[in-house]
Amino acid sequence: MAQLFRPGANSIAVIVIVAIFAVPTAAIALTYFIWNSPYATDQNLTRAQPVPFSHAHHVGDLGLDCRMCHTGVEKTAFAGIPSTHICMTCHSQIWTNAQMLAPARASLASGKPLHWQRVNRVPDYVFFDHSIHVAKGIGCSVCHGPVQKMALMRQAQPLTMGWCLDCHRHPEQYIRPKDDVFDIYWSTPPDQLARGKKLIAQYLIHTDHLTDCSTCHR
Amino acid sequence: MPSLKTPSELDRRVALKLLASVMAATMARCSRPDEEIIPYANMPEGLVAGEPMRFATTLMLAGYGRGFLGISVDGRPIKIEGNPKHPFSLGATDIFAEAEVLSLYDPDRSTAIHHGDAIATWDEFAADWGRAAQTKSGEGFALVSGRIVSPTTLARIAALKSRVPELRWYRTEPVNDDAARAGSRLAFGRVVTTLPRWANADVILSLDADSLGHGPDELRIARAYASRRGNGAKRQRIHVAEPVWTLTGAAADFRIALRPEIIREIARAVANAYGANLGTPQLPDYAKDFAQRAGNELMAARGKALVLAGESQPAQVHALCHWINAQLGAPVDYLPSQDTVENDHAFELAALAEDLHARRIKALIVADANPVYDAPDALRIADGIASLPFSAHIGLYRDETARACHWHLPLSHALEIWGDARALDGTASIVQPLIQKLYPTRTRDEYLAWLANEAVTNAYDLTCMSWQNGIAGKFDAEWRKALNDGVVANSAAMPLSVAVARVPDLPRTPATRTMTIALSPDPSVWDGRYANNAWLQECSKPFTKQVWGNAVQIAPGDAQRFNINDEDTVDIEVDGKTVTAPAILTPGQADGVIGMTWGQGRLNAGRIGTGIGTRVCAISSHPFARALDGATIRKSAHTVPFRSTQAHTRLQGRTEDLFQIATLAELAHPEHPPKQLPPSLLSVPAKGEYAWAMVVDTDACIGCNACVVACQSENNVPVVGPEEISRGRDMHWLRVDSYIRPHGYTERRGFQPVPCMHCEFAPCEPVCPVEASVHDREGLNVQVYNRCIGTRFCEANCPYKVRRFNWFDYSGDQAYADEGEALKAQHNPDVSARGRGVMEKCNYCLQRISRARKTAEKEDRKIAEGEMVTACQAACPTRAIHFGDLNRADSDVSKLRHAPQHYTLLQELNTRPRTTYLRRIFNSDENG
Amino acid sequence: MSEYLLAEFDTAHETMDAARLASEGGHAAQDVLSHIPIEGIDELLIRPSKPTVGWVMFIAGAIGGALGYFMQWYSAVIDYPIISGHRPLNSWPAFLLVPYETNILSAAIVGLLAWLWMSGLPKPYHPLFFADVTGRAVQDRYLLVFPRDAKLAEWISAHLKPRAIHEVRE
Amino acid sequence: MSTEEGAQTRWIVGIDSLEEINARISAPILDPAHTWRWWVALSFSGGLTLLMIVSVTWLFGHGIGIFGNNTTIVWGFPIANYVWWLGIGHAGTLISALLLLTRQKWRGSLNRFAEAMTLFAASMAELFPIFHLGRPYYLYWIVPYPNLQGLWPQWRSALVWDFWAVGTYITFSALFWYVGLVPDLAMLRERAKSLWARRIYGAFALGWRGSARHWELHERYYRYMAALAVPLVVSVHSIVSLDFAASLEPGWADTIYPPYFVVGALYSGFAMVVVLAAALRWGCSFEPFIAVKHFEVIARVLLTASIIMGVSYATEWLWAWYGGERSERHLVVFLFTGPYAPLYYGQLLFNVVIPQAFWSARVRNSIAAIVIISILINVGMWLERILIVWSTLSRDYLPSAWRIFLPTFWDWALLFGSLGAFMFLFMIFASILPALPAHELRKLWIEENAS
């Protein structure tokens, strides 16, 4: 008798001891990786919309300005989802009988609004304000990506707090001249950092306050 | 203020019916359900989604209108603020105005016509009314209402009278001015409204006149009062003689507590000094000193001296005061009374009872009044109504009177209606809706117009009709301006020139040995009409700090005499009727006087108000009497809990350094130089772009609680309910601490509003393990709710105990009284609703700072001085709360920080608060 | 294939004497199995052990403590400086407590691993367990371990006078 | 202490052989003779454990509003329970480590179960701060871990220190305890009857053979751990005391707190050791190992600690008076005259007055008396903990914030539930693991019988 274990038990014992340390570490790392992945942040997810509105067509092909439909973006926290009325200013003239626009026509007729599925969102304890970002030279495409290429709207950035902080800590990486805010084709110039710093000074942005909790949470 | 366009005004509200806030409430994030965005089908013109808009409107207290601004977001009224252009608001609010926005969404509001207990249709009511109204002359028809000074409503009553000529209108307001009316008749031979020009008085003697207490004139007087505070020569001196504490008494420089019948002797003493020759006043020695000093000072300040009498004093005292004021050349205006009914209120109520029991009434309409609750039981109003063939009640709630009547018709809330009102001086203002009617209700005018068979029965048209003639010619522009300003220009009445014919007689009353009950409206729920408002029920009363109930205030001497301890439950008996309530010992109250308040003990108020407290109005056979003699007091066999938010109003230990007091004399010659900041190992923080700070002037503060309710409204502060209060929990971000300190033959009282101190060396921050309590660069001590895990270390380590913890989900699933979702419509969308297990506290209205900053930054400028106003600051009728940027040397707060009366609460702890105080100053030559 | 001779003794004293004799006789024992520690006996074995677990723990503790401080300093000063009651960003007095604990924790954990590593544990399977008497060694016996060798067995029997000699074969 | 006497007489009596030691220590595990008393005790403690589980379920469902805490007394039972339990734990470590380093022979009879007591008490202790959280599911935020918010714990908070201290303490105690257990697990591996029991003990014994190298490293590591344990244990309750002392509050912001807490911890812990020792001696027939003499020695320790506690209390009064700070002074008056005064007098009576009975040799040699006094000391120490929390928060700087704490059913349920769970765990421990260190007792027996 005497031996309780087979020789392989020695290796297993060592593996168990290593695992006691390795498994939790790996689990934390994996969790972080998954939570930060587009899968968990809902990035690049398109959602079924009542009307399959294409930014690629309206912005990319037709070259409409963002503010044409998102009327509140310069004035209010919410950029604003256009009312059916705004859709129909054009579509009462063109594509008046298109099948895909039937819900919009029904909405206008009944006065019942369209129910769009939200694509970009932050938690309700984050008080994001479009107007101030737009006013201080943060372009639409910084957060919303190349909408002119999106047939269906999708979330282009992770919208996590860490992602927000990246810009709030170093806005010079992203800031652009106010005139270019709505230019979806704007690309970062090679001397962006120098330009960005100048713009920060020019726009009187107090960067120290940007990472205060109270900037976004209250 | 946004400009308003009249006709499309209505379009806007129609659209709001389809309201779809872009800000759909997000659910808990963990499961991330899909979320919808619902835009407008057709965006209403002028509306900016998610942005607050302000509309001028009018709210009524005791029938008189006061102009306010309603703040509305996405079509939901969320806040009431003062209207600077209205002379009876002057930009400030009181607790009742602030709380109306909660009443609007009250799920207990009546939403349907009732016949008995059953829901009925309009047609059924119309048929019954048709039958009742068949007699052409309208014999036996009666209308009961409170005080009505609205031109449109008066026109409706006139119209109703033309339909039923025999209509008898009983106008009876529970908190009324009967004594003043009688005194005015005695002095001038007619009823006039007396409006003191408080700001013009150097010396004021108040004979139990609670001018700074709640009422339609409070805000106007409070502002004038504030303009004469401070440490300079402009300061006025106030003498008050009163039986129980009032806000005016607490604000006085010299105060004396006397039984009501002795107070008139003071009037006699003062009048004698002017040669009235009314006989020797019978005063105790200390009262003689008081009377002499007050009399001398009044005399010396002739032309700038004022004497006022309160409702507890008989007509003769009022008349005598008019006479004294005439001798003094007092700054006081006499205006025609807006209340056109000649009879007094108590008389009308008694008449109603008599006519009911004498069967002189056959059909009764009660328009927004609650006589069944208000009237003493002895009048048996409910029995009288029950015996009628037809009775209908129009009201916001199915209250006591509604249940006595056959019919109940639901009334629209003031924030949903068109209408008009006049203020005390006749200033007219329009009642403008902020939201379309939430339920199928009608306004008082609409009901009356329908009952009168008028052609027009729509409130908007009715209101317009009243003013088309009044603002003749250029109606459109003037109307728009009236809506925009919240005041109809030049509508105030001209002062009358009246004279006091002769020295009124002042009969002596035999000194009674019995206990006298001094009655007053409840400081929180007024005459009971606000009893179902949870904010007001949980708004602690200025002196007792009681919430959710009413108490009996007795002087410590009497307590000893009757062997009653603090918070014992007592029975008060008068005229064979008994009420039971907890007793609270109140130093500085006159011996032999029991202080009680009306307004509680509602039987059918709703989920919030029913059964709270004791119905004091039951006991007297004299309706609305302010003083009842012959009361007895004894310990009760029952136990009624006393609930308060400050258990220790009678502070043990030394409080001199907490609530600091100075006399004017001391400030002129300060004994000690102002305290230097204690040294600290910590470096003085570098100031950010702004350095926000608050200075609270305890000298200006009158303890009216407007700031408390304003804060609650602005910041989505939940109520916790009586059970939680009994467990010692409350949620107010801003509390008003009450201090009392013996002084000579009386006590000195004061109020200290305590919001978060926003300490620079905040003790709460380093103890938070997760950075939920942190500083921002502008000096705000902020609480990040979504980061908070609820260790409560911050509150444990807060020397000021200003933090509030959500023990339960007070604003969600575990809300008091479980009233459902409707109340959430009131929530300010700019402020997070805090969930269970999270600490919260005052953040200097961070949402307002944020908004101000963004507005300024978009214009590439800094926030201007005075641009950023906190909710409490905005509400304060005495402008006691100052807020601003310490980085500006010329800002209000920077200057006040150098005032000689400036001090820091618990300075020795060296927490370096950003909220600091100004001392309470007594205008006295003595020291201490 | 390890094969052993186990010389069994009753007391620590006897074991010690036997180990000394064996060592002097040029047949130093490979190991001792005993139910209680015998002080100084390892010097009489073939490969006297020079355990350095103390140094390992010291270094691990020092590194753990330093990492503890670094973590705080990096997070509070470099990564996300947040104002907390206007205490200095590098609030070193307050930051000493966590390193104190990480120091002890690292020393203890690394020490445990070092103990296991140096002791050759865990070894649930070991040739010596083939002998039943090994089981007694953790209860009340003392065993000197020698390589299996018939001549050596005789020498042991003659010179060390053990209570018994056991052979271990796999 | 009693080194002199210890040298004169034996600590282990009535044992004839090493095998008897092994047999006696293994008996409760391998040949349990469970009497009805044992089952009653197990069901009683199991029932209380169930009560704890119900309480916690209720707590998580309804929120911490179910406790008696209020706006200003934001801390209540859970914090007091935490401090109390953790304090109890400290005696185990100190007995084990300090007595090892000072080569006290009476350690051997106590250290194993005292360390188990440490583990269970510390486990009970660390549960309470979790129960007390408003949002316990976010507890992990006080741990530095990679996160999407880019946030870290706030290192200046005593609660973060607590986390590291208690986390280290529990891990450390478990290691220390386990390392000491290994040779005994090897013994059980050999003595257990069923193959599976042998394998399980065998797996945890790691293949311990008692080789010279094993012993050499074991002794060294164990001794280094003991050397680390003493500063650790002092730091843990010092840090716990900083939950209060690193504040601004009257009655809390005292420099005396850390030593006062450590002594208090030792005091309540030794008292709990007495109770457990008496239970084991009686329940497991460990009379030969746990002698009256052991109790006598602990009684002396308790007496010393009670005097230190008395001095500490007096120092607080002196401080308040001499310091002259209004709030501090008022707090002392409040303790003596306020609504908590009966509790405060209880605290003084149980912690300071009654233990003075230990001056009497007769009391010191009566196990029953020592056990009763120890229980009273534990009650007294709990009162001290709850009063530390209550009194300061009830009487803060601003009188407007003065409140009184009224405990609820759930406050008590969780306290007694944790006592039950502790007892339950301890009974389980005593039935599956050797409650006394057999190898150390064998060594001691050999030493004592060498001459």
Task: Please state the ipTM of this predicted complex.
Answer: 0.92
Give me the numbers of helices (H) and strands (E) for chain B, helices first please. Answer: 26, 37
pLDDT surpassing 60 at residue B15: no
B738, B763, B789 ranked by CB distance to D135: nearest: B789
pLDDT surpassing 70 at residue B923: yes
With bands split at pLDDT 50, 70 and 90, how would you rate the model's confidence at B421? very high
- At residue B580, φ and ψ (nearest 5 deg) are -125, 130
Residue with tokens 């207490």: B213
D160, D191, D213 ranked by CB distance to C119: nearest: D213
Two tokens, residue D145: 């871990």
A4, A13, A213 ranked by CB distance to C122: nearest: A13
pLDDT value of position B14: 36
| Global confidence as pTM | 0.92
Residue with tokens 């029952």: B638
pLDDT surpassing 80 at residue D7: no
Q: How far is CA B8 from CA B244, B473, B484, D9, D391, in A?
A: 52, 21, 14, 105, 63
Residue with tokens 């709210």: B59
pLDDT value of position B469: 66
Q: Which of B617, B623, B402 is nearest to B526 (CA)?
A: B617
Average pLDDT, chain A: 90
Burial (CB count within 10 angstroms: exposed 0-12, middle 13-18, buried 19+), residue B376: buried
Contacts (Cβ under 8 Å, ≥6 apart) of B666: B927, B928
Q: Please tell me which residue, B513 or B61, carries the higher pLDDT value.
A: B61
pLDDT surpassing 60 at residue D256: yes
Please say whether the beta carbons of B261 and B317 come within 8 A: no
Looking at residue B597, the DSSP 8-state letter turns out to be: E
Amino acid in position B119:
I
pLDDT value of position B539: 95
pLDDT surpassing 60 at residue D8: no
A4, A35, A36 ranked by CB distance to D198: nearest: A4
Query: Phi-psi category of B446—alpha, beta or left, where left has phi over 0 and alpha has psi -120 to 50?
Result: alpha
With bands split at pLDDT 50, 70 and 90, how would you rate the model's confidence at C145? confident
Two tokens, residue C119: 């002791």
Q: Which of B700, B690, B803, B704 is nearest to B754 (CA)?
A: B803
- At residue C92, φ and ψ (nearest 5 deg) are -60, -35
Residue with tokens 């002062």: B495
pLDDT value of position B653: 54
Beta-bridge partner residues of B255: B240
pLDDT surpassing 60 at residue B231: yes
Chain A within 8 Å of D189 (Cβ-Cβ)? yes
Question: How near does any CA of chain D get to the CA of C158, in Å?
Answer: 24
Chain A, nearest residue to D190 by Cα: A2
Q: Please tell me which residue, B190 or B684, carries the higher pLDDT value.
A: B190
Each residue's pLDDT tens digit, D412-434: 999 999 999 999 999 999 999 99
Question: How near does any CA of chain A get to the CA of B783, in Å?
Answer: 7
Chain A, nearest residue to C110 by Cα: A21
Show which of residues 160-189 on chain A sit within 8 Å of chain C, judged by CB atoms.
165
pLDDT surpassing 60 at residue B26: no
Question: How near does any CA of chain B get to the CA of A18, in Å?
Answer: 31
CA dihedral B747, B617, B523, B144 (to 10 degrees): -140
pLDDT value of position D187: 92
pLDDT surpassing 50 at residue B19: no
The answer to whether the Cβ–Cβ distance between A13 and D203 falls below 8 Å is yes
Chain C, nearest residue to D240 by Cα: C97
Each residue's pLDDT tens digit, A12-47: 999 999 999 999 999 999 999 998 888 888 888 888
Average pLDDT of the segment spanning B789-815: 93
Chain D within 8 Å of C57 (Cβ-Cβ)? yes
Chain A within 8 Å of D135 (Cβ-Cβ)? no
What is the spatial distance between Cα A84 and Cα A115, in angstroms, rounded to a whole number? 11
Give the dihedral sign, CA B273/B278/B283/B287. negative
In chain C, what residues touch D19 (CB-CB under 8 Å)?
139-140
Average pLDDT of the segment spanning D201-216: 89
Chain C, nearest residue to B794 by Cα: C85
D151, D198, D206 ranked by CB distance to A13: nearest: D206
H-type helices in D108-247, by residue range?
A: 111-132, 158-191, 195-205, 212-245
In chain C, what residues touch A4 (CB-CB under 8 Å)?
124, 129
Question: How near does any CA of chain B get to the CA of A146, in Å?
Answer: 22
With bands split at pLDDT 50, 70 and 90, how would you rate the model's confidence at A143? very high
Contacts (Cβ under 8 Å, ≥6 apart) of B312: B179, B208, B243, B260, B263, B518, B626, B627
Burial (CB count within 10 angstroms: exposed 0-12, middle 13-18, buried 19+), residue B586: buried
pLDDT value of position B688: 83
Q: Which of B175, B179, B254 is nearest to B218 (CA)?
A: B175
pLDDT value of position B425: 94
In chain A, what residues touch D198 (CB-CB under 8 Å)?
4
Each residue's pLDDT tens digit, B290-333: 999 999 999 999 999 999 999 999 999 999 999 999 999 999 99
D74, D160, D163 ranked by CB distance to B796: nearest: D74
pLDDT value of position B3: 36
With bands split at pLDDT 50, 70 and 90, how would you rate the model's confidence at D1? very low
Each residue's pLDDT tens digit, B470-505: 555 567 788 888 899 999 988 999 999 988 878 888
Q: Which of B633, B589, B617, B588 is nearest to B522 (CA)?
A: B617
Each residue's pLDDT tens digit, D304-350: 999 999 999 999 899 888 888 888 888 899 999 989 999 999 999 99
Q: Which of B826, B10, B62, B1 is nearest to B432 (CA)?
A: B10
In chain A, what residues touch C131 (CB-CB under 8 Å)?
2
CA dihedral D211, D213, D218, D219 (to 10 degrees): 100
Amino acid in position B331:
P
Average pLDDT of the segment spanning B707-722: 95
pLDDT value of position B31: 37
Question: How near does any CA of chain A get to the CA of B621, in Å?
Answer: 54
Chain C within 8 Å of D143 (Cβ-Cβ)? no
The answer to whether the Cβ–Cβ distance between D156 and C80 falls below 8 Å is no
Show which of residues 5-24 on chain A sit within 8 Å of chain C, judged by CB atoms.
5-10, 13-14, 17
pLDDT surpassing 50 at residue B24: no
Contacting chains of C (3 CB pairs or more, <8 Å) are A, B, D
Please say whether the beta carbons of B440 and B125 come within 8 A: no
Q: What angle do CA D364, D365, D367 make, to 5 degrees?
A: 95
Two tokens, residue C90: 């590098």
Average pLDDT of the segment spanning C42-48: 78
- At residue C6, φ and ψ (nearest 5 deg) are -120, 120
In chain B, what residues touch D394 (CB-CB under 8 Å)?
none
Amino acid in position B411:
L
Q: Which of A128-137, A198-207, B813-822, D355-364 has the lowest mean pLDDT?
A: B813-822
pLDDT value of position A100: 87
Average pLDDT of the segment spanning B837-854: 95
Chain C within 8 Å of D446 (Cβ-Cβ)? yes
- pLDDT over 90 percentage in chain D: 66
The answer to whether the Cβ–Cβ distance between B22 and A85 falls below 8 Å is no
Two tokens, residue B904: 């820091």
What is the spatial distance between Cα B567 and Cα B546, in angstroms, rounded to a whole number? 11
SS3 of chain C: helix, strand, coil, percent, to 5:
55, 15, 35
pLDDT value of position D125: 93
What is the spatial distance between Cα C2 and Cα D209, in angstroms, rounded to a whole number? 16
pLDDT surpassing 70 at residue B623: yes
Angle between helices D111-132 and D158-191 (to 10 degrees): 140
Each residue's pLDDT tens digit, D151-172: 999 999 999 999 999 999 999 9
The answer to whether the Cβ–Cβ distance between B832 and A107 falls below 8 Å is no
Average pLDDT, chain B: 89
What is the spatial distance between Cα B881 and Cα B901, in angstroms, rounded to a whole number? 15
With bands split at pLDDT 50, 70 and 90, how would you rate the model's confidence at D13? confident
pLDDT value of position B678: 79
B800, B805, B909 ranked by CB distance to D134: nearest: B805
pLDDT surpassing 70 at residue B12: no
- pLDDT over 90 percentage in chain B: 72
Please say whether the beta carbons of C111 and D183 come within 8 A: no
Which run of H or E residues covers position D387? helix D367-394
Show which of residues 206-225 on chain D sit within 8 Å of chain C, judged by CB atoms.
206-221, 224-225
The answer to whether the Cβ–Cβ distance between B909 and D402 falls below 8 Å is no
Q: How far is CA D396 from CA B726, B732, B739, D328, in A?
A: 19, 18, 16, 9
Please say whether the beta carbons of B390 and B406 come within 8 A: yes
pLDDT value of position B650: 56
In chain D, what residues touch B836 (CB-CB under 8 Å)?
63, 65, 134-135
The answer to whether the Cβ–Cβ distance between A72 and B48 falls below 8 Å is yes
Chain C within 8 Å of B680 (Cβ-Cβ)? no
In chain D, what residues touch B655 (CB-CB under 8 Å)?
399
pLDDT surpassing 80 at residue D242: yes
Q: Which of B9, B771, B528 is nearest to D151 (CA)?
A: B771
What is the spatial distance between Cα B897 and Cα B891, in angstroms, rounded to a whole number? 10
Query: Phi-psi category of D271—alpha, beta or left, where left has phi over 0 and alpha has psi -120 to 50?
Result: alpha
What is the spatial distance between Cα A151 and Cα D263, in angstroms, rounded to a whole number? 72
Each residue's pLDDT tens digit, B116-158: 999 999 999 999 998 887 776 778 899 999 999 999 999 999 9
